[in-house]
Amino acid sequence: MTSRFTELVVDCHDPERLAAFWCAVLDFKVIDRSEGKVEIGSWEPTVEEVRARQMPPTLVFIRVPEGKTVKNRLHLDVSPIDGGTDEEVARLLGLGAAKVDVGQGSGRSWVVMADPEGNEFDVLRTLAPSTYTIGPEG
């Protein structure tokens, strides 16, 4: 008997706003919504696919009355795939993220950020392919 990691749930005040933010960050789409809840993912889960293999979890944003009070004990790490880390940080700032200091110190290879409701996440090294410039020799 085994289980599958199928959803990561995020408590929040505004599920629609956070779902829209994370859809833009991750290129996900809304796959389910109901009163006070929005689920997003890169795929639409089916029982057959989940039983067959471990698939990427979806993100579920659920409205709760209380606010965030301390640093997250669990956070997401994201890696840019189409550009450099600095460019991705700039894009995320434009989407409503903020850089935050959680005591990480300077000179780190990652950037700590927070989504529009203050949930911390890290932007890691880029996974974009290296670009090579062809010189005069061809």
In the structure, what pLDDT confidence band is assigned to residue 137 with cuts at 50, 70 and 90?
A: very low
Q: Out of 13-17, 46-50, 75-79, which region has the weakest mean confidence (pLDDT)?
A: 46-50
pTM: 0.86
Q: Where are the domains of the chain?
A: 1-67, 69-128
- pLDDT exceeds 60 at position 134: no
Per-residue model confidence (pLDDT) at position 25: 97
Q: What superfamily in CATH does domain 1-67 come from?
A: 2,3-Dihydroxybiphenyl 1,2-Dioxygenase, domain 1 (3.10.180.10)
Per-residue model confidence (pLDDT) at position 132: 36
Domains 1-67 and 69-128 share a fold: yes
Q: What is the pLDDT of residues 82-103, one digit of tens each?
A: 999 999 999 999 999 999 988 8
In sequence order, what E strands does 6-127 have? Answer: 7-12, 29-34, 37-41, 58-63, 76-78, 98-99, 111-114, 120-123
Q: What superfamily in CATH does domain 69-128 come from?
A: 2,3-Dihydroxybiphenyl 1,2-Dioxygenase, domain 1 (3.10.180.10)
Q: What is the pLDDT of residues 20-37, one digit of tens each?
A: 999 999 999 999 999 999
